[in-house]
Structure 1
Amino acid sequence: MSWIQGRPLRLAGLVLIGLALVAAVAGGVTALSGGNGGDTAAPTSTPPPGDSGSAQNPPPPTSEVPPPSSAAPPSSAAPSSPAPPPSSPAPPPSSPAPPPGEPVPPAPGSPEEHQASAKWVTVRVYNNSTIHGLAARAGDDFRAQGWNVAETSNYSGGIIPTTTAYYRPGVADEETAARALGAAFGMRVEPRFEGIAGSSGGVIVIVTNDYRGASTKGK
């Protein structure tokens, strides 16, 4: 019976202890929430003008460097080009070439001068006339004047209109000799034509019926 009566008292004590714990927890929570809610942000103080802090650290002065002058220095005057040299006088116009079939005029100088400088050139004499032995006779005339006659024969490749001394174009010695013979014996002088272009070197003289020999020509 005494155990039954003591049990409610024990339960009541436990209840009181629990209530006390709840009250304590609630008080702590209220204290914490009240402290946090009462905090306010402190106003930021702005230092008044002339504050010692700003006076101690003044902003660095900015130095302005004047920009370099963009004006270019005056350019020196360009040297004048030298005057062109006087033009050389124009060469005299060359004499026109004679038409085909006309005798070529002899080179300047006497026949004797041309013969003395070109008599060593080989000369070949061909007969294109109706006169028998005319090439041999002309060859003798040439030899008598000191010319180097290497051959006398006939030419039957065509009809030559007049006695002519032929030379190879571009061979200066042959042209000189042909002109000397033409001046000394009254012959026409021309470059070789196609019919004798491939013949042996030297001056080729083709004599015709108009050949008169050295007795009346070139002395």
Structure 2
Amino acid sequence: MTFLKGLSRPVRLAGFALIGVALVALVIGTMTAMNGGSSQTAAPPASDTTQPSTGSELPPTSSPAPASPPANGATSPAGPPTQPPAQSAPANPGADQEQAKWVPVRVYNNSTITGLAARAADNFRSDGWNVAESGNYPYGIIPHSTAYFTPGTDEETAAKALAAAFGMRAEPRFEGIENSSPGVIVIVTNDFQGKGKD
């Protein structure tokens, strides 16, 4: 250590002391990093609780509605569907509708009309549908009132029956909601009229 040779003894001792403190801090920092900071409490997992009409219905892990056309044929928030709508008229709408009413329905408002999701949820309930919650969908712009479903499940039958009964579209879930709670997800927009209104 020739660079310390020309310094006075107290300055050299202070230099060694600082180097020692730095080494101790390095050891403590390394141990903390290796242990993951065990003195800190882990964040609680995101809850799956439902809160009717609070505006925080969909989990924060869901991403906004896609900006580019989704590959599954769902309607893009920026324009018309990239493929023909996934909705198909059931052969016997009354029978399908009655058989599918047990499937949970979650209703979200994506309009400029305050309370539209609650009004739509009341319409669905009065028609016998199993409405689990209602609230707001602030993650993008959905151009038309749509009942979203997971393909190949009971949700598909329920969404198509609900859409036929209330004059909406029925489409597969898009990327932002594909992992949300089970059931039909209805996102209502300014075009929602309710049953029997065209």
Q: 1:214 Cα shift? A: 1.3
Of 112, 123, 136, 1:154 maps to: 136
1:214 aligns with 2:181: no
TM-score (norm 2): 0.57
Aligned twin of 2:46: none
Of 123, 126, 133, 1:141 maps to: 123
Query: Which one has more relative contact order, counting CA pairs under 8 Å at least 6 apart?
Result: 2
> What does the per-residue CA deviation read over 1:128-165, in whole Å, with 9 as the maximum and x for residues that have no partner?
00000000000000001100000001001100010000
Q: 1:115 Cα shift? A: 1.1
Q: Which runs of 4+ in 1 moved over 4 A?
A: none
SS at match of 1:157: coil
Of 151, 154, 175, 1:169 maps to: 151
> What does the per-residue CA deviation read over 1:8-41, in whole Å, with 9 as the maximum and x for residues that have no partner?
xxxxxxxxxxxxxxxxxxxxxxxxxxxxxxxxxx
- Asked if 2 retains the 8 angstrom alpha-carbon contact of 1:106 and 1:180, the reply is no
- Asked if 2 retains the 8 angstrom alpha-carbon contact of 1:121 and 1:202, the reply is yes
**Matching residue's letter, 2:105:** V
**Matching residue's letter, 1:182:** A
Taking the aligned partners of 1:101 and 1:156, their CA distance within structure 2 comes to: 25
SS at match of 1:199: coil
1:100 aligns with 2:82: yes
Of 169, 183, 188, 2:169 maps to: 188
Taking the aligned partners of 1:104 and 1:203, their CA distance within structure 2 comes to: 14
> What does the per-residue CA deviation read over 1:52-109, in whole Å, with 9 as the maximum and x for residues that have no partner?
xxxxxxxxxxxxxxxxxxxxxxxxxxxxxxxxxxxxxxxxxxxxx9963643343432
Structure 2 unaligned runs (5+)? 1-72, 75-80
1:1-219 alignment, distance < 5 Å? 100=82, 102-171=84-153, 173-216=154-197
CA RMSD after TM alignment: 1.9
Structure 1 unaligned runs (5+)? 1-96
Taking the aligned partners of 1:135 and 1:189, their CA distance within structure 2 comes to: 17
**Matched residue pairs, number?**
120
> What does the per-residue CA deviation read over 1:156-185, in whole Å, with 9 as the maximum and x for residues that have no partner?
1100010000001232x1100000011101
Q: In terms of Rg, which structure is larger?
A: 1
Taking the aligned partners of 1:101 and 1:123, their CA distance within structure 2 comes to: 25
